[in-house]
Structure 1
C-alpha cells in the first residue's frame, strides 16, 4: 500500500512539473517587466544640480529573456543610472533626444543581456514617466 501511495505521489508531482513547464512555454505575446523603483538621477555635469526621474518598462518576447532580465536587474539598473546621468539638457528636453535616449537604453540592455545570457529578445523599452527638473 505504501509503495502504491509513493508511486502515485511521484506520478502526480511529475505531471505537475510537466504541466508547469508546458504552461511556461505556452506564453504568447509580449511580456512586460517594470524596472522598479523609479530612477532618480542628477544629470548635466557641472553647475546647478538638475534631476531626472523616470520609470522604465521592458517589453520582451519570450520567457527566457524575461527571466534573464529579472535575474540581471541590478546590472541593468546600474547601466540605466549611468546612461541617464551622462545626459545633457539638450538630449532630454526634445522629442528627438528622448527617442534617441530610449533607443540607446534598449541597445545597452540588449548588449548586457547578450553578454550575460548569450541572447536577448528585447522588443522595446518604454518610458512610463519622465520628469526633468532643470
Structure 2
C-alpha cells in the first residue's frame, strides 16, 4: 500500500514538472502600438458658444507581435475611428471616470470590428489611455 502511494505521488510530481514547460510555451506574445501623434479633437459641449476638446495618448495592445505590421498598415482607419468616437461624446461623459471607461470600451469594440472586417482577425486586444486631458 505504501509503495502504491509513493508511486502515485511520484507520478503526480512528474506530471506537474512536465506540464510546466508546456504552459510557458503558450505565453502570450503581445505588442503595443501607439496612435501617433496624440488624438486631439472636439467633443459636444453643453454650451453652443464654446467647444470642448480632448487630448488623449492612445496605446493599442496587439494580440500577437506578428500582427504588428498589419495594425500599422491600418493606422489611418484606427486613428479615424478613435477620433470619430471621441467627437460623438458629451462633456459629461468625457469628464467622468465611468464615461471615460465607456469611451475606451466603445473604441476597443469599434477597432476590433474594423480589423475583423478588414483582416478576418480582431488583432486589437485592448485600448489603453496613457494620457487623458480635456477642456471645456
TM-score range, shorter chain: 0.7 to 0.9
Between the aligned partners of 2:28 and 2:98, the Cα distance in structure 1 is: 32
Contact preservation (8 Å) 1:65, 1:120: no
Q: How far does the alpha carbon of each residue in 1:28-77 deviate from its partner, in whole angstroms, 9 at most, with x for none? A: 53101011000110111543111100010000121343222110000111
Query: Normalised by the size of structure 1, how large is the TM-score?
Result: 0.75
SS at structure 2 position matched to 1:33:
strand
After TM superposition, which residue ranges in structure 1, 4 or more long, deviate above 4 angstroms?
none
Q: Please, which of 102, 105, 120 is the counterpart of residue 103 of structure 1? A: 105
Q: Count residues in correspondence.
A: 108
Query: Normalised by the size of structure 2, how large is the TM-score?
Result: 0.74
1:74 matched to 2:76? The reply is yes
Between the aligned partners of 2:52 and 2:123, the Cα distance in structure 1 is: 34
1:35 matched to 2:35? The reply is yes
Between the aligned partners of 1:70 and 1:97, the Cα distance in structure 2 is: 28
SS at structure 2 position matched to 1:37:
coil
Between the aligned partners of 2:37 and 2:64, the Cα distance in structure 1 is: 23
